[in-house]
Structure 1
């Protein structure tokens, strides 16, 4: 009886810690958006001050997004390679580290939703609203019930593609030509990163899901947990595939148009 009470107290304390981290994350990312990003950006590049009001809002939003992606992405890599508990039991493995990472992301998503709604004319996007709600719906079960840590962590690996996506927008806002070497290089890296962490992992994700389907661990999940897991996964993968197609098309156009322009200049040079 005493051990049970101690265990319950420990769980309550941990739950309070996770809640505190999530709320602190909301305020931290709001602070980054309103104070840190404008100050740092204005000192890094003079081009920031020349942006329009709407562009500055999106710049700060993407700067915060990049920082979140770098921190969470590397935490997820560490968990993937060194947390044996969730690899051995992807449904009910020890979720301690995953909960900590998910709580950071939960705070970020709530913060970003508030910014999207408040600055709708500048950064409003229905797809992002749907994306954030689907992720928060699934992460609610991860944080409240400690379920599906392996799958939650695998999902968060997708953040590793975010920095290059945001960098593409930064280059465009600063007036870099699409045919510039830095833009083309970043575009190729963006396409590769996006494919690896968002699309290439889809077979692995669903094969692991299939391997636990129908097992005792699966049936221990609540109905809500199962529906959140399957529904959110499907929605996110549909969006990821759609975004991947757009990125691939854009990357192809830039590479193809760049070669075409180079060939045209060579031909014109010979004609002259």
Structure 2
């Protein structure tokens, strides 16, 4: 890994830590009065999701720029000049490491096995991009999926502030979330895998070596399985809201769930 990418990765890790522990609490209390009334466990997750949204916007928009304007990468998806992609991947790896540390420190309330698998698979694959500069087009294509994350986090913000699920903003965000998740994570699967299969048997693919090939294909399969599971959950939730089945739960059900709230809070698998 070159000094530039290592510096960006370290800066990303530290920057997201500061955003979580310093910037988010101070900014959120000013913008959202309800933030100060949340329990401690939800304050932690609130800050975590705000950081997640900032990361998603930075990386997602950078991905679109590369996809539209980086002709070298688009012309050679396996060995094209990875300069810009490596910077974006370094930002993401810094974020993934920060988030793994956060999950480990708050496992009893934020622990999520699916998301740990997601992070580890991504780090495993992106490590090849950073160290060998291979597969820049495919790495960039994968990161575009982050553009669905702000809508997922916004849904959690609404729920934490006790917005009714029938509220217009909640419904609009829910529909936007389902649409965005489908477009950038599910609908692109056939196109992505067509591009992957098109490289099989080529000289460029053979030059990767078995290690990079396995890391690339296995991580993509794992991520797409997780994305399919999450798409199903989101589609089911969106259907309930649109059909009027997602309103407030009966009081006794709410009380039962509140009694176990301190045991586990789902942070990411929305």
Q: Does TM, scored on the shorter chain, surpass 0.5?
A: yes
Report 1:58-207 matches (<5 A): 58-207=45-194
Please report the RMSD computed on the Cα atoms of aligned residues, expressed in angstroms.
Answer: 1.4
Q: Helix, strand or coil for the counterpart of 2:166?
A: coil
User: Paired residue for 1:30?
Assistant: 17
Report the count of equivalent residues.
Answer: 248
Post-superposition shift, 1:122?
Answer: 2.1
TM-score (norm 2): 0.90
- CA distance 1:260–1:112, change in 2 (3 Å): closer
Pair 1:47-2:34 in alignment: yes
Q: Helix, strand or coil for the counterpart of 1:222?
A: helix
Gaps of 5+ in 2: 249-270
Larger radius of gyration: 1
Gaps of 5+ in 1: 1-11, 262-272
User: Paired residue for 2:7?
Assistant: 20
Q: Is contact 2:241-2:247 (8 Å) kept?
A: no
Which protein has greater RCO, CA pairs closer than 8 Å, 6+ apart? 2
Q: Is contact 2:165-2:246 (8 Å) kept?
A: no
Q: Is contact 2:155-2:170 (8 Å) kept?
A: yes
User: Paired residue for 1:235?
Assistant: 222
Q: Helix, strand or coil for the counterpart of 1:252?
A: helix
Q: Is contact 1:179-1:258 (8 Å) kept?
A: no
Deviation sequence 1:212-243 (CA, Å, 0-9, x none) = 11100000002111001000000000000110
Q: Detail structure 1 runs of 4+ shifted over 3 Å in the superposition.
A: 258-261
Distance 1:123 1:237 in 2: 23
Q: 1:249 aligns with which of 201, 213, 236?
A: 236
Distance 1:198 1:260 in 2: 27
